[in-house]
Amino acid sequence: MITVQQIKKILRECYDPEIPLNVLDLGLIYDIRINDKRIEIDMTLTSPGCPMQALISRGIEEKLRKLEGVEEAKVKVVWDPPWTPEKISEEGKKILGLEKNKTY
């Protein structure tokens, strides 16, 4: 049985090549759905014009398909709500050297 924890572990190995932080801690993942052997993820990117959109989503799908029991993995890029730096996890802010209570 596929778990959300397994998926999150994989997402922590997936990066936007332009930012040294994984997609989960960047706050790019909006929803994770597991339907039997199918995984669906709604995610956004830091900018609608991100030239790495296809590379990032394909990379996530490929890694998720390697999980035992997964037959299909699909990443849907959404723009609502728009991403803002406030979505970065506390751990991510530490890694990026951002001040804890700073307003962006």
Tell me the pLDDT of the chain averaged across its residues.
Answer: 92
Question: CB-based contacts of 11: which residues, under 8 Å, 6+ apart?
Answer: 22, 23, 24, 29, 41, 60
Question: How do residues 49-64 score in pLDDT, each as one tens digit?
Answer: 888 999 999 999 999 9
Determine the Cα–Cα distance for residues 83 and 34; give it in Å rounded to an integer: 23
C-beta separation of 12 from 60 below 8 A: no
User: What was the pLDDT predicted at 104?
Assistant: 54
User: What was the pLDDT predicted at 16?
Assistant: 87
Whether the bond between 81 and the residue before it is cis, its omega within 30 degrees of 0, is: yes
pTM score of the predicted model: 0.89
Question: How do residues 10-52 score in pLDDT, each as one tens digit?
Answer: 999 999 888 889 999 999 999 999 999 999 999 999 998 888 9
Domains, the chain: 4-90 (3.30.300.130)
Which of the two residues, 99 and 87, has the higher pLDDT score? 87
What letter does residue 35 receive in the DSSP assignment?
A: E
User: What is the layout of strands, in order, in the sheet containing 29-35?
Assistant: 29-35, 38-43, 72-77
Determine the Cα–Cα distance for residues 11 and 64; give it in Å rounded to an integer: 9
C-beta separation of 25 from 95 below 8 A: yes
Pairing of strands 38-43, 72-77: parallel
| pLDDT of 83 above 70 | yes
